[in-house]
Amino acid sequence: MTKKVIVNADVGKGTINKNIYGHFAEHLGRCIYEGFWVGEDSDIPNTNGIRNDVVEALRNLNIPVLRWPGGCFADEYHWKDGIGPRENRKRMVNTHWGGVIENNHFGTHEFYMLCDMLDTEPYINGNVGSGTVQEMSEWVEYMTFNGESPMANWRKENGKEEPWKLKYFGVGNENWGCGGNMRPQYYADLYRRFQTYVRDYGDNKIFRIAGGANVDDYNWTEVLMREAAPFMDGLSLHYYVHPGGFWNKGPATGFSEEVWDITMQKTVYTEELIEKHSTIMDKYDPEKRIAIIFDEWGAWYDVEPGTNPGFLYQQNTIRDALVAGISLNIFNEHNDRVQMANIAQTINVIQSMILTDKEKMILTPTYHVFEMYKAHQDAERLDLNIESDSIKVGDKEIPQVSASASKAADGSVTITLCNLDKAKTADLAVDLRGKDLANVSGRIITADEMDAHNTFENPDNVKPVAFDDFQTSGSELTLTLPSKSVLSITIK
């Protein structure tokens, strides 16, 4: 039966912060090295050591913000090892990720250069787990102090006369786990202390992000908010979809129909997490001044057979396109509290945009969803009501269709729709109120197989195509959403 989607084009629900479309790049596996950074002497075309092909592809996504250097790596990273002449930089062991040598050739200067090339805002994550207050404080001074100071002078000696701008700074990462195995009360006190020395120099105003909860650790949020709310601008939240659980994640391809459904259900669960953490935050911050910074999310599976287990390299299929589309719709719909999200991770790690093999590069289905959704960035969210059939997953029920709508500054409306069902189509009547249904276009990404994906041999197997299979009548647009699809409709 046809289900109704009502979009009120004249009822705005606040801006969708473009940072919801943010990304994350850690010193992990082949994300930084080989992914972004190949070095100036590489045969792979590069600009000052950074791959030209990935920069070109990522610029097309309008990446608003990039988080670096970790992740768990952040709490082992000592920034002073990554500045000055590259040949003199300290070599260390990346103990957390594969035990490989980290030569520190990609450091603060290289990260800012990358952000310039991508035209993106840097989000730097500092080290609380194994670092000191002084080290963190000096990093901020090195990057942002204008004038004479020991760190500013050092920066100038290293070739950067003017300070950089630094907007987003994370004070530790997963301090309940790899960032020090702390209890919330202890971390809350450390957070208060460390952030004191994250100084605002000149007109550089830092948005301070406290390390938040793992998944449904509501006690962590409660304690952090109770003890440290006045000292933070954002509180992070991490949630990964592991179909078989953390210890038995399951493969990225070649999975069963049951696993497809579980993946969808675990993705939809993101909404419950946001709502429950936000409700706790409301108690201490009813004005919603403090943002949820969802700075790690994505579908995390077993590594590809034969690859380094510490490198977290996995394929990316139409299932991941759905994970991305549903998650982004949920973030949009919670734009009152969610002000940033950073999918893990940009290249060659977990749910990537891009996979590389030496000089070759492919775009994943997840990349295409980010591209199809980019009109939502900084647009006004529109009031949306949806009727949907349900899908039964074990003893749970999830909606078959996920949706979000927004209006851009030029008045054009974007509606994004996902059909979570692996086999059934969804008949929809989209009633767009308050805007003429003239000039409608659509793009869809879908596939016949549940694990359809792109390979270096067949890079365009899964990609968006034009969709015009809809009828319009008055304010209503009727269409059939194919199974396992993500659709973006634009009404100019």
Instruction: Enumerate binding residues for ligand AHR (CB under 6 A).
Output: 26, 70-72, 173-174, 296, 344-345, 350
C-beta of 26 vs 421, nearer to ligand AHR: 26
Would residue 296 show up in a list of annotated catalytic residues for this protein? Answer: yes
488 in the Ramachandran plot: left (φ > 0), alpha (ψ -120 to 50) or beta? Answer: beta
C-beta of 213 vs 403, nearer to ligand AHR: 213
C-beta of 110 vs 296, nearer to ligand AHR: 296
> What minimum distance in Å lies between the beta carbon of 238 and ligand AHR?
6
β-pair type (234-241, 207-214): parallel
Would residue 174 show up in a list of annotated catalytic residues for this protein? Answer: yes
> What minimum distance in Å lies between the beta carbon of 296 and ligand AHR?
5
Q: Which stretches of 152-261 are assigned E, i.e. beta strand?
A: 168-171, 207-214, 234-241
The DSSP result for 312-342, as a single string, is -----BHHHHHHHHHHHHHHHHTTTTEEEEE
Cβ–Cβ under 8 Å, residues 344 and 350? yes
> What minimum distance in Å lies between the beta carbon of 17 and ligand AHR?
22
Residue that has been written with the tokens 């970790």 in this structure: 70
In the set 121, 138, 271, 296, the catalytic residue is 296
The DSSP result for 51-108, as a single string, is EHHHHHHHHTTT--EEEES-SGGGGG--GGGGSS-GGGSPPEEETTTTTEEE---S-H
Residue that has been written with the tokens 């971390």 in this structure: 187
In the set 138, 174, 271, 380, the catalytic residue is 174
Question: Residue 419 pairs with which residues in a beta bridge?
Answer: 401, 485
C-beta of 28 vs 362, nearer to ligand AHR: 28
> What minimum distance in Å lies between the beta carbon of 241 and ligand AHR?
13
C-beta of 107 vs 129, nearer to ligand AHR: 129
Tokens matching residue 364: 């994943």
Cis status of the peptide bond prior to 131, with omega within 30 of 0: no
Measure the CA angle with vertex 417, ends 413 and 418; round to 5°: 160
> What minimum distance in Å lies between the beta carbon of 177 and ligand AHR?
7
C-beta of 126 vs 163, nearer to ligand AHR: 126
> What minimum distance in Å lies between the beta carbon of 379 and ligand AHR?
28
Closest Cα partner for 422 from 352, 317, 331, 330? 317
Give the catalytic positions in this structure: 174, 296
